Every structure is written in structure tokens, then in C-alpha cells.
């Protein structure tokens, strides 16, 4: 399979009054065509700088960016990249149709404005001026703008911000359709549940470096351990926190939650200490727990995983 994105040893630093900030440090990432990749990391991790270099908005101090074999500026000029940036403004005096028509004429192989509006679910707003759009409507118009050049790669920064629940579901259903047609997607999001549900692959950046890379299930496994939920009669947290195999205990929405280092041992201990326990569930830690463990440096597995991935990180 051909590679849609190749980032090779990218480095970018900025001089500030407080000294030099190394925003991106030797970052390498390869994304095969047709893959949907979530880019996550704490604030200041280097996600936005990486995206800016990918789009040709910022030049790296060192390293190389290739999009379908081209440099980023050539790829943008040829319409190969569509971008939906969180801080992207809309020209308020133009209607949605006028705005998309203006953008479409900049690229050699644009799709029709009507098709872009239909895909992004904004056809009903075609005559509405940008100043009259709600937050969710404006976000969907940004999506239409990203699509109108008929890109092979779409870059999304917080794509569902300001959308309601139905809007988010519609958006990801559309993205699945586009991915099935061969479009590659790279998205940055603080909604970790979306990364878990909709990404083929999750890339975690901390301090300008990739510290974890793999399918959501692999990233979640890096956090280690499992979580047990149960309904019990006692509310004495200390009684459960001291059990074997348990790292911590708490009550969440009236149910006992046990964070486990050894869930098998913890389950046996739970049934011994609270034989009345019922509604017992044993679950893998979620992406949020894995993210917190990895970004706080508490996961030794995260560093080891860099030596056992598919070669997309170096």
C-alpha cells in the first residue's frame, strides 16, 4: 500500500523571551493511504506544530514532509490536502455556496459545490451568510471547505467541536464513507472516546516526540491492569483498597470501582470480602486512562512499544 504521509525526522524550535522551546524533536511518522489516524497529546505536546509543518504553514528546522510523494505546498496547491482547522475563520459576508465556490475555483480538480455541501450536510444552509451560522453549522461548513478540492488526505483539528451528539454521529458516518473510498485522514481531538471509536490508529505525542503508536486496543493495553465494577452493600473504601491485586478503590455512581494490578486476584478477594457482590464487570482500561498513564510517564510498556510497531515510527 502506498504511503499518503511521510514525516521524516522533523524538528522545530521557537525562540521566546523565556528561552528556546523545542516544539517537535526528531518526529517521524508514516501513514498508509486510506488509514484514519488520531493524533493525541497534552497541551503543548507539539500536535499543532506538526500539523502546521504537514500543511506547509511552517517550515521545519530539519527533516522532510512528503504528501503522496510531493512537498506539502505542492500538495496543497494541487488539491491533495484538505484541512479543517479549529481556528479557521469564515468570510462573514459570503453565503455558504459563495464561500465554497470561491474555494473550489482555486484547485484544478475540485468536486462540485453541491456535492461538497451534500457530503458535509450543509445544503440547507447554502444561502445563509457565514455570520448567521451556529457553531456546529460553521464547523460543518469548514468540513465542506476541506472536501471541495477532492483531496486524498484530509487533516482535521478538533473536527466535532461545537457539534451536538447527532452532528458528531453524522460526521463520523461520513468519514467512514470517505475512508471506504480511499481517503486518508489525520485528526487531532481532545475527545478521546472519538479516537477510541473511530481511529484505525492512535499516535500519542509528548514533548514533541511520539511515545506510543498503534491501534486503540494496543494503546489501551499499555496502561496495564483492568477495572472491576460491582454493586456491594458496604461503602467502606478502605475495606476494598487493601485487597490483594487492587491498586485503588472508589465508588462511582454508587458502584464500587477497583483499579487492579491483578484482576484475577482482585476478583477472588472481592468475592471473599463481599460475597454479596453482584453486577460484577471486568473491563480493560479505557483510552483516557491509557493516555494519562502514557503521558505522565507511568507506562514502561509505552516506551517498549516503540521497538515493536509496524515500522511507522522511528
pLDDT (tens digit per residue) in 147-197: 999 999 999 988 888 888 888 999 999 999 998 888 999 999 888 889 999
- Is residue 29 within 8 Å of 210, Cβ to Cβ? yes
Which of 40-49, 207-216, 293-302 is the least confident region?
A: 293-302
Q: What is the pLDDT of residue 303?
A: 42
How far apart are alpha carbons 249 and 228 in whole angstroms?
Answer: 10
SS3 for 282?
strand
Statement: residue 74 has pLDDT above 90: yes
Are 220 and 287 in contact by the 8 Å Cβ rule? The answer is yes
pLDDT above 70 covers a percentage of the chain that reads 94
Its pTM stands at: 0.78
Residue 32 confidence (pLDDT) above 90: yes
Confidence of residue 306 (pLDDT cuts 50, 70, 90): very low
**Cβ atoms within 10 Å, residue 28:** 16
Distances (CA, A) of 159 to 79, 164, 165, 197, 234: 20, 12, 13, 15, 44
Query: What's the burial of 304, exposed, middle or buried (CB within 10 Å: 0-12/13-18/19+)?
Result: exposed
Q: What cell numbers appear for 201 in the block?
A: 490508529
Query: Above 60 in pLDDT, residue 310?
Result: no
Taking the C-alpha atoms of residue 118 and residue 124, their distance in angstroms, rounded to an integer, is 9
Name, in order, each residue with C-beta under 8 angstroms of 175's C-beta and a sequence gap of 6 or more. 36, 185, 198
pLDDT in tens, 100-151: 999 999 998 999 999 999 999 999 999 999 999 998 899 999 999 999 999 9
- Which residue in this structure is represented by grid cell 491492569? 225
pLDDT at 302: 41
Q: What is the maximum alpha-carbon separation in the chain?
A: 71
Neighbours of 175 (CB within 10 A): 19
Structural domains of the chain ordered from first start: 3-80+151-220 (3.40.50.300), 225-284 (3.30.70)
Q: Model confidence at 221, in pLDDT bands (50, 70, 90)?
A: confident
Strand, helix or coil for residue 256: strand
User: If residue 219 lies in a helix (H) or strand (E), which one and from where to where?
Assistant: helix 216-221
Q: Which residue has the higher pLDDT, 2 or 275?
A: 275
Interior angle at CA 159, CA 175 and CA 92, nearest 5: 115
Of 305 and 216, the one with more pLDDT: 216
Over its C-alpha atoms, the chain yields an Rg (Å, rounded) of 23
By the 10 Å C-beta count (0-12 exposed, 13-18 middle, 19+ buried), 281 is classed as exposed
Distance CA 59, CA 270 (A): 56
Cα(273)–Cα(80) distance, integer angstroms: 61
* Helical axes 135-147 vs 96-104, angle rounded to 10°: 20
**SS3 of residue 179 by DSSP:** helix
Half-sphere exposure of 175 (CA within 13 A, CB side): 29
Amino acid at each position: 500500500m502506498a504511503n499518503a504521509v511521510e514525516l521524516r525526522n522533523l524538528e522545530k524550535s521557537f525562540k521566546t523571551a523565556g528561552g528556546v522551546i523545542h516544539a517537535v524533536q526528531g518526529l517521524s511518522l508514516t501513514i498508509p493511504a486510506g488509514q484514519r489516524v488520531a493524533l493525541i497529546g497534552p497541551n503543548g505536546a507539539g500536535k499543532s506544530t506538526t500539523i502546521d509543518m504537514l500543511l506547509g504553514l511552517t517550515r521545519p528546522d530539519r527533516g522532510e514532509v512528503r504528501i503522496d510523494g510531493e512537498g506539502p505546498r505542492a500538495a496543497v496547491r494541487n488539491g491533495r490536502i484538505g484541512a479543517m482547522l479549529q481556528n479557521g475563520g469564515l468570510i462573514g459576508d459570503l453565503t455558504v455556496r459563495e464561500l465554497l465556490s470561491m474555494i473550489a475555483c482555486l484547485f484544478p480538480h475540485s468536486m462540485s459545490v453541491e456535492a461538497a455541501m451534500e457530503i458535509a450536510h450543509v445544503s440547507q444552509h447554502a444561502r445563509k451568510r457565514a455570520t448567521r451560522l451556529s457553531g456546529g453549522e460553521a464547523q460543518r461548513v469548514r468540513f465542506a471547505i476541506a472536501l471541495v478540492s477532492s483531496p486524498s488526505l484530509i487533516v482535521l483539528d478538533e473536527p466535532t467541536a461545537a457539534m451536538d451528539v447527532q452532528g458528531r454521529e453524522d460526521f463520523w458516518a461520513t468519514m467512514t464513507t470517505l475512508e471506504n473510498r480511499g481517503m486518508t485522514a489525520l485528526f487531532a481531538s481532545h475527545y478521546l472516546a472519538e479516537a477510541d471509536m473511530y481511529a484505525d490508529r492512535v499516535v500519542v505525542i509528548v514533548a514533541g516526540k511520539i511515545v506510543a503508536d498503534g491501534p486503540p486496543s494496543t494503546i489501551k493495553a499499555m496502561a496495564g491492569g483492568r477495572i472491576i465494577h460491582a454493586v456491594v452493600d458496604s461503602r467502606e473504601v478502605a475495606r476494598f483498597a487493601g485487597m490483594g491485586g487492587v491498586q485503588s478503590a472508589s465508588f462511582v455512581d454508587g458502584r464500587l470501582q477497583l483499579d487492579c494490578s491483578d484482576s484475577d486476584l482482585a476478583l477472588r478477594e472481592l468475592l471473599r470480602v463481599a460475597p454479596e457482590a453482584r453486577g460484577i464487570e471486568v473491563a480493560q482500561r479505557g483510552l483516557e486512562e491509557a493516555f494519562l498513564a502514557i503521558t505522565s510517564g507511568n507506562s514502561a510498556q509505552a516506551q517498549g512499544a516503540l521497538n515493536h510497531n509496524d515500522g511507522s515510527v522511528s
